[in-house]
Structure 1
Amino acid sequence: DAQSQMGAIRLRIRLPTGQTTVEATTFGDLADHIDNSLGDAVHGNSWQLLTGYPPAPMAKPNRADALAATLKSGETVTVKVTEHVSPPVQPPAPTAPPMAVADEDAELQAAMALSLGKKAPAQPVVPTFDSEDADLRAAMAASLGHPVPTAPTAPVVGSAHGERLVRRVIPADNSCLFAAVAHALDGASGRRERADGLRRVVADVVLADGETYSEAVLGQPAAEYVSWILKQESWGGGIELAVLSSHFKTEIAAFDVQSQRVDLFGQGAGYTQRICLLYDGIHYDLIVRTLFEGAPEELDVCCFNSTDDSVMAEARVLVGEQHRARKFTDTQAFTLRCLVCQRGLVGQEGALAHAKDTGHTNFAEYK
């Protein structure tokens, strides 16, 4: 009955400026939370809610309507802004345990994995496909019978002695987040093997702290999440970064190339060291200080003092350069070509529709 549907439920909210969670009872409560999260640039009449799989706009409810009558606790709601929103210059760090974002187009992600000769991920993750990304370079080189290229580092502001921050490319093998953290904390040697150990760290923490990492936060029961994250083909995200930050007592600054925002995990916890990751939409690389031109990755300086604002300033310059060079993928507007029939496609939705219509699942991005 209506009375039983008025209880508060917990929702995951995907916003243009980041992710958040909310416990709310009515759509009015949810709308207020979204307006507050978006700030003054956007008002309630300039966004809409998308739910379901694939995400579809939902009819605009009345403010007094109960959320539980339409949505389930733990569900993900996407906020689509219908007017331009200027991203904040210095967005606040997450105030709630961050969450891995589920991919609304799991079928397209599976198709992209097959294009690269990999297993499709066992759990939906955030997919994008960047022709500048190591994954696509490897796939294109292999299709042409060429050696797989190694991606160069990207220099940014540095000292007169040749020291500078660079983007240290991590192998694209579905464990890039864990390998990047392993490289940062203990060096490049053996990082792939140590990445599997970090998966176990995350699994153990999640099982031990059911209050923080509840089913609503994880999007699934803890046992199922643990089984998933221990698989090498499963990608990491916000939850995993939060766990690793806490476990190793290290701030982790995750820079997003497309939005140029940074999420700082462990901020305010009193940690004295910080590592910096760079996310391009499909892949995590590491931001390191190289001591001289051509220095081997074994000499990378990966851990920085958490109070050294100059490192963050240099990192923002690097991210800006990567953004201007379009070293990211806009999954709503990127262009793909079907490698089976050579048809041009636009965005995830176009590729997914084409795959459903034709059964073709081999794609590559072009610009």
Structure 2
Amino acid sequence: MSQNLVIVESPAKAKTIEKYLGSAFTVRSSFGHIRDLPERGIGIDVTKNFAPEYVVSDDKKDVVAQLRKLAKTAETVWLASDEDREGEAISWHLAEALDLDMSKTKRIVFHEITKTAILKAVENPRHIDMNLVNAQQARRVLDRLVGFELSPVLWKKVRTGLSAGRVQSVAVRMIVERERAIEQFVSDIDFRMEGRFAAPNGAGFSAEYHGNLTDQAAVDALAAALALGGFGVRSLEQKTAPRKPAAPFTTSTLQQEASRKLGMAVSRTMSLAQKLYENGHITYMRTDSVTLSADAMGEVRDTIRSTYGNEALSSSPRIFNSKIKNAQEAHEA
């Protein structure tokens, strides 16, 4: 048996990573989460600081048994789930369910599935980040508490089969408030005036009147006055308008562009992005960051230099900053 057991979330990732690490490493998949709150009952002890009661999912019992067997014979277990709340929680659940010896267990993370990134991760292991784990547990507990208590109310008051949740309930409240504001809106009449001009060379253009027009009589009077007057070009000014490149994709901008340009649904976009990530073609697709790693920037600039020459390169790389107030930026763009 291999000296090292690496556990990842996806079986597609496992094959690629095992190829990069070599024969000293066995790479297996947890197929996502292995433990969760029980399907029946609330699964939370509210009298003990809201302690969650986890169980191994029925469809993961064989997976857990196989991983536990491999972990017992491995010298070192490497937990390589994604570096986000869910990924950190998966690593923690694996450590708990497999009863891992933490002195022989290492946590590694990478944002792209390339040989360089994988080897660098192995060289820089860390411990499980319990702050991230606790954040995920808090979200899961809230999901269950809100859904478990509110959904039955919906079944009685509205319709059977409806669900309420931590996020969707707040979203519905926002929609209701917006709809009420729309219903209370008092409409007003506003006029817009545009003139079309013909030039001697045949190239016409349009110009818009910039003023407050709220009265039909005033609009008619202005139109009549303008029709009698002569017009001339007072000045002509030319400006160079720079066009900045778009920032690297975040999850949301990727979804927006795929919808706008390709007509793709969010589920289709994320499914394809997952496959591209697992095959080492893109970085991790769930991110709110627009920054790129120094290594990535260096590789891009080297490619531009070798393909198009130094004249196509800027003097320094463009640095993008996130516009999102509470961006986690756990992963690069």
**TM-score normalised to the size of structure 2?**
0.22
Larger gyration radius, structure 1 or structure 2: 2
Instruction: Identify which of structures 1 and 2 has the higher relative contact order when contacts are C-alpha pairs closer than 8 Å and 6+ apart.
Output: 1
Larger proportion of helix: 2
**TM-score normalised to the size of structure 1?**
0.21
